[in-house]
Structure 1
């Protein structure tokens, strides 16, 4: 089998046997014959000379008109549209408006080499139900995220787009394509995007039924594949295709470009045999391309499109001479475990190629018969790459005279039953309130994801609100604004804080330097910051539908103004998200408690009894207990310490 693609010095760029320079194939552009002529129906006018003569005669008759000004016309037809107009009209008739781009691109952009990319994820997104299938929203999202992720000032432009099945194909300049590829893995409308290069370009949108010849070829290729598939080992054996008698009889190896086209055809037939990606993974585990004289993976790139999850791949006895010939597969085949490159020139030209190849394929275990990783190493690398939650050490509640406890207990009860008087008691003309909606947070699988219509119009989520003006407008300042918005938020029901404390995490810390509402302390006054994480049920306005949500709320409390409530809310920040259970607390056994008792007694000099009281007050969190000791050391009675 000849190399599947052009090589340097190949006949594609030289003269053929007939002495004429070969073109790239297809229908070449006519030169020197003038523009194409079309009639009113958009059909080609094959009698160009007659048309030209008719126009010359018409012009001559106009110059030699009668004294009365009448002109003898040779045709009563309306002016014909240009060939460009006919192309646009035909696209509209066929329903293909993707290439009639609304994005204005200059002449220079039209001549730039464009890179084709393939985007997967739109079909699974919430935007798929939008008018137009969500394509417009997807393109806008990709352009915006590519610009912000790359931190560049110039705009990112998608030149053309086309939806085909589960994918959206797009083109962009080489520079813009590099930035767009960085959006791979981003979440769009609830679905993860998968963006890769599409060297094969846009798929053919021609819906014309296959001819009898094409159907015959398709059936012959299916026959070839059936003889080369082992159902027991799940191996698709495509080795030595150049020696296959059926493929030779079909004439695929008579021209230089035929083998590459034949391979793409084989992959297209394979793609049509499976309805889902999972069906491919279940049926095809191993593929062999050994002995095909391939010298660049570009010649068999369609394999990674059709079988991106193949586990074992045999490329032995080919012509791969260096890493560059394999580089296009660097970010593909992420599940590949075995790769054979035996009897390729790269083994001699670059004996150290294995070290580089290991970094390309994260799950590779066996490379050309050599074990390069163990399954345990892969598992450890995957575990290290996964994001791990911040260890939850439990609440740290450092209250002062039980002020924080009294406030938060009263607040939750009144927020559910009497928001108007709650705001009047604790908020004044300088208090601020804002709400942020997080629609993409992890959620409990056993609880339906709620809608956000009642909250989203007030949301000040800085990940979504990028401009300073709307950010400022959604920061509510003063009692009247806060009461006005609270009336529009859905009614809620929080669990009872005193009887269901396990449904909350509450932190409380003293802070200093708050503005003195009385104006007597220029250096500020003391206050506290309270953060509470929990849940509530709310009711959708106008319906009886309820939803469970998680929330986090952070209060900054300070002294009230003269003749007002002694405590005021300086700042109130509410964040709401889909419900998720709070993390469970780590159980500490008796041995661990005894170790902490001994260590705390050693560091503080306290007796074991007082050390136990300190640890119990901090829920057996050692660092919190030690911090609490240093804060209150002056208040601890002398009998709490051991005598020397």
Structure 2
């Protein structure tokens, strides 16, 4: 059998064109995301129109002070960042399954702080952004939000880092009992915002034409990076199972999964082993192509949990930092239908027929 190449391969092609996004955060695999007419927060005419439609004389407003930024020239970008992430975490939007048209009604700069005027009922959405990192031209800047109704949150404990439970209904559709405590309500809102974030992520990283789910270099995704959901081993152990729960809900049967996803890219995630991603074999056991290159696997022991897990796998891309004699033959034996290992043929049809 020809020796498999150990250099990083590029056999499973990636589509570079930008994918459309479903602004509502709904996962749409194999279909074009639906359009939306949500106003642009940077467009003043849109802002005036939105305000006229949604504010009433009885509406009350609260001030939210934002510090941690440094460049006034980036205020439009910062406002867009805050508007986008607060919208995703708005409890009223989650309940109705849509985004609010505009949350920041006015803003001004006072004593090196950006002061936002927002509806009092929507302050809770901004409180969840406390500790988020803003991608400034001067580097990542940790934001601090203060004001009436806001409480300090640790970035490691933000609602976005809590995975949804597979034993409950979709929180975006579930109702909270009238007798529920504040913590119960916040927990449901947290689940809703997490699921919305993960659905949007999957929509951005799925290519229906190739039936390809591109989960490579996850931390490079701006919204995932800002949420802190994949920035440490502790959060990674929650992120991937939660992502697979969302996939299970979007693709409820084995047949639908087989038809929708043929290839998965998990390259360049800095993984030391496959423990974090082992749920992939339960959600997508019938994939044909898998790319695990560019991670930190030392040897075959680090991927052994995938042994005999992907019975339909035909092409595997993988690399180890330490050379091990005979590792190719060992890995090939784990997957009965494997035809290519790192782009090198490893079986002919006659061999596969004998094995099966």
Shorter chain as denominator, the TM-score bin is 0.3 to 0.5
The TM-score, its normalising length taken from structure 1, stands at: 0.26
The TM-score, its normalising length taken from structure 2, stands at: 0.47
Q: Which has the higher contact order (CA 8 A, sep 6+)?
A: 2
Asked which structure has the greater CA Rg, the reply is 1
